[in-house]
Amino acid sequence: MSDSEPIVPAGNIAIDGERLWDTIMETAQIGATPKGGICRLTLTDLDRQVRDWFRAKCESAGCAVTVDDMGNIFARRPGRDPSLPPIAIGSHLDTQPTGGKYDGIIGVLSGLEVLRTLNDQGYETNAPIEVIDWTNEEGSRFAPAMLSSGVFAGVFDNVFAYSREDRNGQKFGDELVRIGYKGDVPCGSHKLGAHFEIHIEQGPILEDEAKTIGVVTGVQGMRWYEVTVTGTEGHAGATPMRLRRNALLAASRMGVAIDAIGWAHAPDAVATVGLLENRPNSRNVVPGSVFFSVDLRHPSDATVAAMEAEMRAELERIAAEGNVELGIECVWDSPAVRFDADCIAAVRRAAEAAGYGHRDIVSGAGHDSAYIARVAPTTMVFVPCEKGLSHNEAEHAEKADVTAGANVLLRAVLETDQRLAERADLGA
């Protein structure tokens, strides 16, 4: 089928943008911060609160809701043929500590809005439709990111996931039990016919080009590291400069070197030290140990690997100069991903049918779709966010853009449902 043959089902079925927006504003109250953002870290009581909200809304929309043993929530709306694998609409409800109202959240709530719209219209799909809240997409509290979609896709196993500790030593598995969301369905035990995710771009391109829709073709490669720098604690007043083994000084120089590696491979590369702990963090003690995170990304896996090699060499050199010990552990390696051509074409056709300005785009941010693409035909729909800001309490998206994105999502899902049912009928 060429890109120009729309097989979008007849009728101009459309979502209720006001109702969708109301759900976004309602759930934004759960973990609301004074600056207008959300702090709703995964597996906290606030995460449990929003999960309970989501489950209740899906059940009242007539869905069967199941929770798997990684806490992923699946709200299934039945279709004409229960033997067809569900077409999924997934994203996440957990946020960064200084997160915004839209990152992940518009993905799950647009799915709920699609369910509600299909109900309003009495529209019966061929396959079931399944809206999914993937646990711990952000990776802020428990590294790595996309942990539970990663287990679903077979990238990680439950033992690894349950063992992940936050910076206070609490374990993922214990927290999942504590909030009551460790289900008994084995994670990854059911097939998905396709997976779609709507998300804010989290970058400036769509806004800069005045485009409403990003037709996401893939996700760049990314790696996370944990670095420990060990020197000697000493008295700030009595320890001569020449005798110091200052861990924070060495770590600071390492941070500058990592930033330089990002610039060396710019404009497509990014390099970030985001989390840093200095011990004992006392104003009159020469710092003895530092822990910091590194996030390296580039559309090419080979370039990410080159950046890693340069980083390791630089950090070893700086550690030797500062007479400190160095530990570097790669805790996450998510290779670049290309999404499914048919799903991408369905999103592009839906944007064209609706007359929305659109452009192809590769995601700079990681998403659950990056892992789900390994086990199901997958793609994403981006909508603009103001100044490209995200992972920031000032994150903002326009109601009209979110509504447009959710309509594109709906039409792409319905077209895919038709296409997969026809393929199944043909015994393909």
Q: Using CB under 6 A, list all residues that contact ligand HGY.
A: 137-139, 145, 365-366
Question: Among Mn ion, ligand HGY, none, what does residue 366 contact (CB within 5–8 Å per kind)?
Answer: ligand HGY
User: Does 364 engage in binding with Mn ion (CB under 5 A)?
Assistant: no
Q: Which does 173 bind (CB under 5 to 8 A by kind): ligand HGY, Mn ion, none?
A: none
Contacts of 16 (CB under 8 A, 6+ apart): 113, 116, 117, 120
Indicate which of ligand HGY, Mn ion, none lies near residue 139 (CB less than 5 to 8 Å, by partner kind). Answer: ligand HGY
Of the pair 107, 128, the CB lying nearest Mn ion is at: 107
Minimum CB separation of residue 12 from Mn ion in Å reads 30
Of residues 107 and 231, the one with the C-beta less far from ligand HGY: 107
Shortest CB 204 distance to Mn ion, Å: 16
Q: Are 17 and 422 contacting, i.e. CB atoms less than 8 angstroms apart?
A: no
Question: And the tokens for 426?
Answer: 């043909």
Q: Which is nearer to ligand HGY, 28 or 58 (CB)?
A: 28
Q: If binding is defined by CB under 5 A, does position 104 make contact with Mn ion?
A: yes
Stretch that binds Mn ion, among 37-45, 67-75, 97-105, 238-246 (CB under 5 A): 97-105
Q: Which does 111 bind (CB under 5 to 8 A by kind): Mn ion, ligand HGY, none?
A: none
Interacting residue with Mn ion among 68, 103, 197, 393 (CB under 5 A) = 103
Nearer to ligand HGY, 99 or 377 (CB): 99
Least Å distance, CB 270 to Mn ion, is 14
Question: What minimum distance in Å lies between the beta carbon of 38 and ligand HGY?
Answer: 14
Radius of gyration (C-alpha) of the chain in whole angstroms: 23
Nearer of residues 188 and 366 to ligand HGY, judged by Cβ: 366
**Nearest approach, Cβ of 97 to Mn ion (angstroms)?**
11
Least distance from C-beta 20 to ligand HGY, angstroms?
Answer: 22
202 versus 403: smaller Cβ distance to Mn ion: 202
Q: In terms of Cα–Cα distance, which of 226, 246, 104 is closest to 167?
A: 226
Determine, following the binding rule CB under 5 A, whether residue 86 of this chain makes contact with Mn ion. no
**Residue 329 β-bridge partners:** 226
Token pair, residue 104, equals 């992940």
Q: How far is the CB of 64 from Mn ion (least distance, A)?
A: 26
The residue with its CB nearest to Mn ion is 104
Residue number, 70 or 127, with CB nearest to Mn ion: 70
For Mn ion, the closer CB: 33 or 239:
33
Among the residue ranges 24-32, 46-54, 96-104, 395-403, the one whose residues contact Mn ion (CB under 5 A): 96-104
Question: Which residues face 357 on adjacent strands?
Answer: none
Least distance to ligand HGY, CB of residue 8, Å: 31
- In the complex, the residues that contact Mn ion under the rule CB under 5 A are 103-104
